[in-house]
Amino acid sequence: MQKQYKTKKMHKNETLVAYICLIPSIIGLIFLTYVPLAAVLGLSLTKWEGVGIPEWVGFANYIKLFTTDPYFVDSIKVTIYFSFVAVIGSMIYSLAIALLLNRKIPARGFFRAVFYLPYVLPAMAVYIGWSWLYEANFGLFNYILSLLGIHKLKFIASSELVVPSLALIAVWLSGNLIVIFLAGLQNVPKVYHEAAEIDGANGWQRFRHVTLPCMTPIIFYNLLMALITNMQVVTPALALTQGGPGNSSRFISYVMYQYAFKSGKFSYACAIAFVSFLLIGVFTVILFATSKNWIFYEGGEE
């Protein structure tokens, strides 16, 4: 009886301590995430250009976005196109590199650092360097093409090639995915590999039937993070293309920046921000909903 009473009190104390320690994060969550989100939603229902008092207009901003705006509808298509190419490209690239870096090769540590390095370089420096590689008249890639006798390409200056070119830069930058895949690969129990080898499986079969299923939680995490990050892409547009030829690299975040800061139309940009939030939310929900079908958790069904 005494012991039960003591355990209950201990339990209550522990819960109290836990809540006290959580207070900073809850405050952060409320003031840095929920309140701004509500403020953006509220502002998007008004008309406000930076000076004066916001004026209530209801859903007029949203209607204008989807009917007469010359940038927005194209920007949704371009952002989704870029996200798919960049996400699929970087997942395949980083998985392949992680597999290679998991083997016992000489100077393995050096190579791991080299492939991770692009992720930590300053973004503007990276993009300016790549802009010289892609330069339409005298860039390095065009020089190599002209040596091979192929017609020069305009890369980021042409509306068909700009998104694949920018996606290539994003793939090169995906060092963080490599590190996480490496950790996931090292978590695949060796006993499974040995068992498969005994049964006569070759490398490719082991990959498909042992490595990949064990890696599915990590793949899911990387896919989710890469999708969310790449749907908010804005730096290539700001640094290199300013929306590209026509609207072909005009990402949603760039349109938001354009309207908020270049034109001063803050409430309109808030409407764009909210639509972007809903779009990313939809993709995340789809990803979570379909995840049950292909993720294998070693601990069994939860």
**By CB under 8 A, is residue 263 in contact with other proteins?**
yes
Spatial separation of the C-alpha atoms in residues 298 and 202, rounded to whole Å: 23
Q: Rounded distance, CA 155 to CA 133, Å? A: 10
For helices 212-231 and 72-101, give the axis angle rounded to 10 degrees.
Answer: 150
* 232 closest CA partner among 91, 87, 92, 88: 87
Residue 13 near other proteins by CB under 8 A: yes
Q: Measured between alpha carbons, how far is 57 from 220 in angstroms, rounded to an integer?
A: 41
Among the listed ranges 53-61, 64-72, 168-176, 274-282, the one in contact with other proteins (CB under 8 A) is: 64-72
Nearer to other proteins, 72 or 181 (CB): 72
CB 251, CB 79: distance < 8 Å: yes
Site membership for other proteins, residue 31 (CB under 8 A) = yes
Residue 27 is encoded by which pair of tokens? 């405050």
Give the residue, chosen from 2, 4, 137, 293, that forms a contact with other proteins under the rule CB under 8 A: 137
Size of the site for other proteins (CB under 8 A): 46
Minimum Å distance from CB 15 to other proteins?
12
Which of the stretches 76-84, 109-117, 181-189, 241-249 binds other proteins when contact is defined by CB under 8 A? 241-249
**Positions 38 through 57 that interact with other proteins (CB under 8 A):** 49-52
264 binds other proteins (CB under 8 A): yes
Residue from 124, 140, 195, 278 touching other proteins (CB under 8 A): that is 124
What whole-number distance in Å separates Cα of residue 249 and Cα of residue 226? Answer: 19
The yes or no reply on residue 159 touching other proteins (CB under 8 A) is yes
At residue 46, the 3 state secondary structure works out as: strand
- Verify binding: residue 151, other proteins, rule CB under 8 A: yes
**Does the protein bind other proteins through residue 266 (CB under 8 A)?**
yes
Which of these ranges, 54-62, 85-93, 204-212, 260-268, lies near other proteins under the rule CB under 8 A?
260-268
CB-nearer residue toward other proteins: 135 or 216: 135
- The rounded distance, in Å, linking the Cα atoms of 283 and 231 is 10
Q: In terms of CB distance, is 89 or 236 closer to other proteins?
A: 236
**Residue 127 sits in the site that holds other proteins (CB under 8 A):** no
Question: For 55, phi and psi rounded to 5 degrees?
Answer: -115, 125
Beta bridge partners of 55: 47
Shorter beta-carbon distance to other proteins: residue 206 or 250: 250
Integer Cα distance of 56 and 48 in angstroms: 9
